[in-house]
Structures are given as C-alpha cells and as structure tokens.
Structure 1
C-alpha cells in the first residue's frame, strides 16, 4: 500500500507542478472541483443531472483552463518543454483531451439524430427526456473514458500506475479545492502566473 500511495502522490505532484501554472486555470479548476463535488452528491439521486453538471460545467471549465490559459512555452520552473510534458503525461494530454471533448460534443447530436441510440435505449419523451438521456450518455462516456485510460495504463506503465491514476482522477475535485482555494484571491491581486517557489 505504501508504494501505491507514493505513486499517487507523485502523480498529483507532477500534475500540479507541470500543468497548473496559470492562476486562471487554477481558479477554473476550483470552480470545476466544486461542481464535481456537487455532482458526486447528485449521482446518488439523479445520475443524469449529475453528469450534465459534471460535463456541462466541470469538464468545460477545467479543460478551458488547460487549452486557453495554461502557458505552452518552455517551463522554467521544471526545466521542461511543453512537448516533453505532453509526451510524459500519465493521463489525458491535450491531444487525447481533444478526442474526448469531441466525443462529448458529438454525443448529443448523435442522440438527436437517433433517439434510440441504434436501438440501445428506450428514449424518454420530450425535451426534458432528451436531456435526461444526454446526461446518461455523458455519464457512460465519463465512466468509459476513465476505464479506458486506466486499462490502457495497465499495459503501458503497469497496474499500480493505472489504479493510482484512476484514484487520482476520482479524488481530484477534493484535492483541487485544497490546492487552489486561494487562486481567485491571487488572481484579483493581478497575479496571472503562480511563481511556484515550492516547485523550484
């Protein structure tokens, strides 16, 4: 168990120091994490609504932070190029995220084109029924994306790495709130980039 928690700690540390320099990105992660925690609670009573919140607010704000605000130049704190960080990324790098987000954006269109999803579901009637089905589809996409990359990591880097990454992803909302709860305050003070003295 010690080795597992050490692997998890390393993944969390690398994720923070490599991919969260922007205070805007950190603030968006705080928003994302807060909504994910609410979605976790909703999961027990309304899974479709939980998925709509998780994908519609949490994932879009989180990925917007990475795509639009995180610096893509040379990382002087970690002495690494953006290309190197993308290559060694344990989870979904930007290229893989494009694929995942494209599937997310396309799935409501696919459901609108065929409300039965090629005979896989019995569609709920009306507009509210449509969005309920979209939520369930997004929930399946989220679970599928998590399991796919976890199993992929089993083959690439070993079972422990894959399991640690899965636990990291599931607990990221709580960890992000702890890490980035002050990010909006720094942002209001005009600090756009975290100097990260703790990572130097």
Structure 2
C-alpha cells in the first residue's frame, strides 16, 4: 500500500511540475475538476447527462489548457524539453490525446450517418434518440480510454504504474481543486506563468540533502 501511495504521489508531482505551468491552464483545470465532480454526482442520477458534462465541459476545458496555453518551449525549471516531457508522460500525451479527441468528435457524425449500427432506426433518426446514443457512446469512450491506457501501461511499464495511473485519473478532480483553487486569483493579478516556487523549493531541498 505504501508503494502505491508513493507512486501516486510521484505521478501527481510529475504531472504538476511538468505539464501545468500556465496559470490559464491551471484555471481551466480547476473548471474541469469542478465539472468532473458534478459529473460524478450526475453519473448516479443521469449517466447520459454526466457524459455530456464530462466531454463537453470538463474534457474540453482541460485540453484547451494543454493544447493552447501550456508553454511548449524549453522548461527552465525542470531542465527539460517539450519533446522529452511528451516522451516520458505516463498518461495521454498530446499525440495520444489527438487520437482520443478525434474519436470523440467523429462519433456523433458516425452515429448520425449510420444510426442502425448503434441500434437507432435506420432512417430519419429522431434527435432525442440521437443525443441519447451519442451520450451513451461518449460514456463508453471515457471508460474505454481509461481501461486502454491502464492495460497499455501494464505492458510498457508495470502493473502498479497502470493501476496507480487509473487511480490518479479518477481522483484528479479532487486533487486539482486542492492544487489550483488559487490560480484564477493569480491570473487576475496578471501572472500568466506559475513561477513554480514549490518545485524550486523541492529541488533545492533535494540538492541540499545530497
């Protein structure tokens, strides 16, 4: 259990220090986290509505932050290039995210033009059935994306890394709220990039111990 908690802490720390320098990205992650938490509640009440909240609000805001606002230049704080960080990322890097998001975007069109494939009437599908099917497919896609990468990590890393990553993904909304609840206030003050004082402090502490 201690090993799992240590691995979880390590994955969360690397995720923060490598991929969340932008205050805009952090603020969007806060919005995403709150949306996911709302989606978690909806999941027990209306799973289809939960899927729409998760994909249209939570995932969209989250990925906009990564794709458009997170710096792609050399990371002076961690002494790492963008390509290096993409290569070592445990979860979905930008390339894998493009594939996942492409499937997400393509699903509604596929369902509309081939409705019988998903159990809808083969001609003139009604909007209500279409929306329900899209939501259902997006719900399955979310679970599939989680399971696929978890199993993938079993083979390219190890079982513990995969299981811990899955646990991290499911609990990220809670952790992101705790980590980034102040980010919008920093952003309002005009601070676009987090100085990463916490990262520098840990690096200094580590070098001192050596």
Shorter-chain TM-score range = over 0.9
| Distance in 1 (alpha carbons) for counterparts of 2:156 and 2:33 | 28
**Aligned residue in 1 for 2:35:** 35
Aligned pairs for 1:1-200 (under 5 A) are 1-116=1-116, 118=117, 120-122=118-120, 126-200=126-200
| Distance in 1 (alpha carbons) for counterparts of 2:61 and 2:100 | 15
4+ runs of 1 displaced by more than 6 Å?
none
Q: Secondary structure at the match of 1:77?
A: coil
1:133 deviates by: 1.1
1:122 deviates by: 4.5
Give the number of aligned pairs: 197
1:129 deviates by: 2.2
| Distance in 2 (alpha carbons) for counterparts of 1:76 and 1:161 | 27
Radius of gyration: which is bigger?
2
Structure 1, unpaired ranges of 5+: none
| Distance in 2 (alpha carbons) for counterparts of 1:98 and 1:34 | 23
TM-score normalised per structure 1: 0.96
1:143 deviates by: 0.3
Q: Secondary structure at the match of 2:44?
A: coil
8 Å CA contact 2:33–2:177 kept in 1: the answer is yes
1:179 deviates by: 0.4
| Distance in 2 (alpha carbons) for counterparts of 1:115 and 1:51 | 19
1:128 deviates by: 2.3
Larger relative contact order (Cα-Cα within 8 Å, sequence gap ≥ 6): 1
